[in-house]
Structure formats: C-alpha cells, structure tokens
Amino acid sequence: MPTKSVYTVRGMSCGHCASSVTEQMTALGGVQKVDIDVASGQVVVTSQAPLALEQVSAAVTEAGFSLEPR
C-alpha cells in the first residue's frame, strides 16, 4: 500500500527548482511519485513505504534546498 508524505522545502522559486527536487527525490528507493507546489514549497511524495527523514533531507540538500523542520 503506497504511503503519502508531505514535506515543506525552503528556497524553491521556479519550475527548474521543482525539477531538481523531483529528480533527487525520485532517486530514493521506493519513491513512485513526487508532486510539488513551488509557491507554498509543499512536496508530496508517494512511496512504497515510509521514507527516513534523513534520506529526504539529504535529497533536498543535494538539490540545493533545505527541508523545513516540522
């Protein structure tokens, strides 16, 4: 059963930003879909199982942005 997780990413301002985050997130094992709302910074990730927050944070950092603490 797929899991949906919602994260807030700081610093995204355009479609290219969203593409960078999407590329890094989809590289994580088990990720099936990534939906991003650039205006709010909201990232919804659909994955086969819950993702470790450390993995998500590392992927966002690799894309050049930061994950907003919950």
What is the rounded average pLDDT of the residues 1-24?
Answer: 96
Q: Is the pLDDT of residue 1 over 90?
A: no
Which residues, including other chains, have CB under 8 Å from residue 61's CB and lie 6 or more apart?
A: 67
Q: Please identify, in words, the CATH class of the domain defined by 3-67.
A: alpha beta
pLDDT tens, residue by residue, 30-68:
999 999 999 999 999 999 999 999 999 999 999 999 999
Amino acid 44: pLDDT: 97
Q: Where are the domains of the chain?
A: 3-67
Which residues, including other chains, have CB under 8 Å from residue 42's CB and lie 6 or more apart?
A: 6, 7, 8, 36
